[in-house]
Structure 1
């Protein structure tokens, strides 16, 4: 197992030693306890919480060089509901009902809980630089995430 380090670039804006030490430890802990997917030149670590995701990127050599927090509102945009609507036949029955009643917020909540509890597994396609998240309980549901970590559509 690689010994993780954190790139100095992350601390250039805030060189305070106390902050550096604590952010370093937090990032390493979060990275070690995350769901990781390997791309051609990096390892992307996903940490899902109740209302946001923390995405940490490291080189294959183990240097963390980027992290960002994303709210589910931006990761699961309203445009995803159009794709869900188009692929209704692949969805669980309760999702169909929620979408009929324009309750995308309930779909988003269940989706975020699925991420939070590791009910989705990711793979990375280098050809189109896209992540594909397969729902473990529903074999016919796969969500496509672009390289800016936004879920775009359901792939059947």
Structure 2
């Protein structure tokens, strides 16, 4: 039996009330079980899966007004790889080896697994309007994420 799919035609029409209610329930469920961090005006909820993140944004009153799915490849920019290369002496030994061997795909894979298994915590810095993801096992290493949810630099404190 072939794999079951849903026609794109279904989503080209305005969703009926049943679909609106179902999508609403899914978003609320995902938001509720997510990792959340606050900015001055919003709450940003992150759900991490094996190959992508679901990012849901709500206002302080609790109304969800935006969601987006992002592949990890698009979240981990080329500037991050340059930043990692510039600071490789401060990274864990296995990351140093991967970077020296030009195996950034392994870094991306480990990074996505760390997000997926909740090995990072996030803080939002109002001054530069950036998210900083702290690696729980390496307290002085942070990954800077801009407002487009692109991780573009490693920072050490």
TM-score, length of structure 2 as denominator length: 0.89
Cross-structure match for 1:74: 74
Instruction: Give the conservation status (yes or no) of the 8 Å contact 1:90–1:140.
Output: no
Instruction: Give the conservation status (yes or no) of the 8 Å contact 2:78–2:152.
Output: no
Cross-structure match for 1:133: 133
SS in 1 for 2:139: coil
Cross-structure match for 2:99: 99
Could you report, residue by residue, the CA deviation over 1:66-117 in whole angstroms, capped at 9, with x for unpaired residues?
0000000100123211000111122110001101111000000000111111
- Please give the residue correspondences for 1:44-123 in structure 2 after superposition, counting only pairs within 5 Å: 44-123=44-123
Superposition deviation, residue 17 in structure 1: 1.6
Superposition deviation, residue 136 in structure 1: 0.3
Output the CA distance in 2 between the equivalents of 1:41 and 1:139: 27
Superposition deviation, residue 127 in structure 1: 1.1
Cross-structure match for 2:40: 40
Unmatched segments (≥5 aa) in structure 2:
1-12
Cross-structure match for 1:149: 149
Superposition deviation, residue 140 in structure 1: 2.2
Instruction: Give the conservation status (yes or no) of the 8 Å contact 1:51–1:112.
Output: yes
TM-score, length of structure 1 as denominator length: 0.89
| Root mean square deviation, CA, Å | 1.0
Give the number of the structure whose alpha-carbon radius of gyration is greater. 2
Cross-structure match for 1:25: 25
Count of matched residue pairs: 144
Aligned structure 1 segments of 4 or more residues deviating by more than 4 angstroms: none
Output the CA distance in 2 between the equivalents of 1:78 and 1:18: 42
